[in-house]
Amino acid sequence: MKKLAYLMAAVLVMASAAMAQTPGEIMKAGDSLRDKYDNKGALEMYRKAVAADGNNLDAAARLAQCLVDNGEDLDSKESEKFYLEAVDVASKIIQKSPGLAEGHYLLALATGKLALFRGGKEKVKLSRAVEQSGRKALELNPNHANAHLLMGVYYREIANLNWALKAFANTFFGGLPAGTNEDGLRELKKSAEFYNLSVRVHYELGKTYEVMGDKKSAAAEYKIAAELPLMDHMDAKYIAESKVRLRSVE
C-alpha cells in the first residue's frame, strides 16, 4: 500500500509539473484573451504572470495596460480603482528600470485616466505629472507611437482648457505646462507616422483639426478613422464617434 501511495504521489507531482505554466506561457494566454477583447480574462492571466515572476517587466507592463483597459471598459466610478492600481504597477516598473520608456508612458496614461476622477487642485497636479512622464517616455524612446498619441491629446486639452481652471492653476501652481493645438497636431502626426492604421490616432487628429477650425482636414481624418478595421477594444467607440463628427463637419 505504501508503494502504491508513493507511486500515486509521484504521478500527481509529475502531472502538476506538466500542467504548470511559465510566466511567458501565462502572458501568451493573456495576450490571446486580450486579442479577443476579453480584458477581464486577460487581467487574471497577467496578474498570475506577475505573481509568478515579480521581476518580469513585460508582464508588469501588460498588467498596467490591461488595468487601464478594464477601467475603460467599465467607464464608471468603478474604473478609478483600476487606474489607481495601474499607477502603482507603472511606478514599480520605473523603480526597477528607470530607463524603460514603457514604464513612464504607462504612468502618464494611468495618471491621466485617474485625473478624470479628481477635481480642481489635484487635477492640476496630476496634469503636470502626465506631461512630465509623457515627455520622459519620448526622451527615452522618440519612436513611441502611443506616447506621441498621449501627448498630442494632452496638448490639445491643455490648449482648450476652460478659463476658470487655467486661472486656478495660475494662482496656486504657477500655471500649467505649455501646450497648444499646434503642439498637439505635431505629436499626433508623429504618432500616425508609426501607427497609421490606428483608429484612435485619426479620430484625435480629426478632433484637433476641428478645434483649429480646419473642417476639411477634420472630415478627412474622421473618414479614415471610420473606415479602419477594429484593432483595439475602444475602436468601435471611436469609429462611431468619428461618423457622428464627420456629419457635423461636412
Domains and CATH numbers, the chain: 25-119 (1.25.40.10)
Query: Cα 214–186–180 angle (5° rounding)?
Result: 75
Instruction: Specify whether the CB–CB gap between 46 and 29 falls below 8 A.
Output: no
pLDDT at position 108: 97
Type of residue found at 131: E
The three-class DSSP label of residue 200 is helix
* Nearest C-alpha neighbor of 225 from the set 250, 211, 207: 207
Here the cell at position 195 is 501607427
Query: What is the pLDDT tens value at each position of the chain, 250 positions in all?
Result: 545 554 454 434 333 433 458 989 999 999 999 999 999 999 999 999 999 999 999 999 999 999 999 999 999 999 999 999 999 999 999 999 999 999 999 999 999 999 888 876 777 788 889 999 999 999 999 999 999 999 999 999 888 876 555 555 554 445 566 789 999 999 999 999 999 999 999 999 999 999 999 999 999 999 999 999 999 999 999 999 999 999 999 9
Here the cell at position 229 is 478595421
Q: Say how far residue 4 (Cα) sits from the centre of its chain.
A: 54
pLDDT at position 23: 86
Cell 502572458, located at residue: 27
Instruction: Specify whether the CB–CB gap between 43 and 71 falls below 8 A.
Output: no
pTM: 0.87
Instruction: Specify whether the CB–CB gap between 70 and 82 falls below 8 A.
Output: yes
Classify burial at 104, counting beta carbons within 10 Å of its beta carbon; exposed 0-12, middle 13-18, buried 19 or more: buried
Distance (Å) of CA 34 to CA 75, 101, 186: 18, 22, 30
State how far the Cα of 20 lies from the Cα of 116, in Å rounded to an integer.
40
